Amino acid sequence: MIRTAEFVSPGHPDKICDRISDKILDYCIKLDPEARVAVETMGGHGSIYISGEVTLDTKKEIPILHLVEDVMGSRDYLNTTQVNIVQQSPEIARGVDIGGAGDQGIMVGYACDENDEYVPQEYYIARHLCRHLYEKFPYDGKTQITTDDHWITHIVTSFQNVEKEQLEQTVVEYMEWETEDIKIHCNPAGDWTQGGFDADAGLTGRKLVVDNYGPRVPIGGGAYSGKDPSKVDRSAAYMARHIALKEMKDRNLTECWVYLSYAIGEKEPLQSTATDGKTSWDISDKYPVYPNEIINFLELKKPIYYETSQWGAYGNGFKWDRDPRIGFLI
């Protein structure tokens, strides 16, 4: 079967926005572990716009401009960053206050046995190649891998501030197998020096498939970055991944999908099932699936989110990728 997945570097404009949103979230959680946060960032062409809702049990101000500077690595945007943040709607808060979900949604967890990170192989290769290239060329960039029955057939890489020949040489040297039969496309539109916010606009949550497992696995549609764990878009997705790993291991499966769905303001999930693609089974009595149970089980009231915004949420050693009985699964 032919499959394709991509990955983008932390210098990509959408990822910059994710990082800013999660930088703000982590700061809020440091101030107040019970913080209610939903912050979106849009940036590009000399300007950044940050909007959303934040409710804190403190009167301390959030140094938004300083946090933007930390992410951007410069002060260039300090005079062109606009901020419009208000408190969380009391109509949303009343459902969360009683332990209900902060929004409706369907979350999908996944695990497979194709590599030591338990993610789809084409996604695994795209991420590792992107990470390797970003270490050498820390700019805006993308990778894309196509496989046919797990054999690589095409590699696409586009990275800012590196010539095509050097990029291709770096790709070939990184691959651990022969590349003669692989079609390699490096900077296929030509070399480029204008990237990041200088070349394109970015938006929080627009690389949701990259944050998950690549296009092989369905997603519910809710983005992660900028959202505190009362938003099941994030917390229940992490729990679904944990359950998928456990069920795959316990049942000796090659892959497993987990589905959790919620109604806003309600504790009990509307769906809590796992499947191996042939049969499905209920998992609600086996795992903590109420929103507050998930938050406590995975210890999500900690400033851990900025790290998730850079290289994906799964396969990077976060708590939801662990088995408490045997330590790290990966």
The CATH number given to whatever domain includes residue 154 is 3.30.300.10
Mean pLDDT on 55-75:
93
pLDDT, tens digit (0-9, with 9 covering 90-100), for 233-242: 999 999 999 9
Percent of the chain with pLDDT over 90: 89
Both 178 and 237 in one domain: the answer is no
Residue 320 covered by a domain: yes
By the 8 A CB rule, do 62 and 27 touch?
yes
Last residue of a domain, one of 145, 176, 195: 195
Residue 159 above 60 pLDDT? Answer: yes
Residue 297 reports pLDDT greater than 70 = yes
Residue 323: per-residue pLDDT:
64
Between CA 294 and CA 303 the distance in angstroms is 16
What is the average pLDDT across 195-220? 96
Are 132 and 178 part of one and the same domain?
Answer: yes
Q: Distance between CA atoms of 322 and 140, rounded to whole angstroms? A: 31
Looking at the structure, tell me whether residues 186 and 251 fall in a common domain. no
What is the average per-residue pLDDT within 68-78?
Answer: 90
Same domain, 174 and 256: no
The Cα 135–Cα 213 span in angstroms is 22
**Residues 111 and 242 placed together within one structural domain of the fold:** yes
| CA dist., res. 50 & res. 42, Å (int) | 6
Residue 30 and residue 51: Cα distance in Å, rounded? 20
Least confident among 88-102, 127-141, 185-199: 88-102
The mean per-residue pLDDT over the stretch 146-155 comes to 94
Whether the per-residue pLDDT at 143 is higher than 70: the answer is yes
The answer to whether residue 170 is domain-embedded is yes
Examine residue 256 and state whether it is found in any structural domain, yes or no. Answer: yes
Whether residues 110 and 130 share a domain: the answer is no
- Evaluate whether residue 200 is within a structural domain: no
C-alpha distances (whole Å) from 247 to each of 63, 251, 286 are: 43, 6, 10
Domain that holds residue 282: 105-115+232-328
Co-location of 110 and 258 in the same domain: yes
99 in a domain, yes or no? no
Is residue 177 domain-shared with residue 151, that is, in the same domain?
yes
**Listed residues 177, 195, 213: the one ending a domain:** 195
Flag the least confident range among 143-147, 171-175, 225-229: 171-175
Q: How many CA atoms lie within 13 A of 267 on its CB side?
A: 9
In this predicted structure, what is the pLDDT of residue 150? Answer: 86
Picking from 325, 322, 107, 98, the residue whose alpha carbon sits closest to that of residue 211 is 107
Mark whether 139 and 190 lie in a shared domain: yes
Which of 11-25, 175-189, 304-318 is predicted least confidently? Answer: 175-189
User: How many residues make up the chain in this entry?
Assistant: 330
Residue 276 sits in the same domain as residue 321 = yes
Query: Does residue 111 lie in a domain region?
Result: yes
What per-residue confidence (pLDDT) applies to 206? 96
Domain termination residue (choose one: 172, 195, 218): 195
The verdict on residue 78 lying in a domain is no
Average pLDDT over residues 103-113: 95
Residue 300 domain flag = yes
Predicted TM-score (pTM) of this structure:
0.95
**SS3 of the chain:** CEEEEEEECCCCHHHHHHHHHHHHHHHHHHHCCCCEEEEEEEEECCEEEEEEEEECCCCCCCCHHHHHHHHHCCCCCCCCEEEEEECCCHHHHHHHHCCCECCCEEEEEEEECCCCCCCCHHHHHHHHHHHHHHHHCCCCEEEEEEEECCEEEEEEEEECCCCHHHHHHHHHHHCCCCCCCCEEEECCCCCCCCCHHHCCCEECCCCHHHHCCCCCCCCCCCCCCCECCCCHHHHHHHHHHHHHHHHHHHCCCCEEEEEEEECECCCCCCEEEEECCCCEEECCCCCCCCHHHHHHHCCCCCCCHHHHHHHCCCCCCCHHHEECCCEECC
Whether residue 317 sits in one domain with residue 280: yes
In angstroms, the CA 143 to CA 155 distance is: 7
Structurally, how many domains does the chain consist of? 2
User: Residues near 91 by Cβ (< 8 Å), separated by ≥ 6?
Assistant: none
Of 89, 90, 34, 29, nearest in space to 62 by CA: 29
Looking at the structure, do residues 318 and 236 belong to the same domain, yes or no? yes
Predicted local distance difference test score (pLDDT) of residue 75: 86
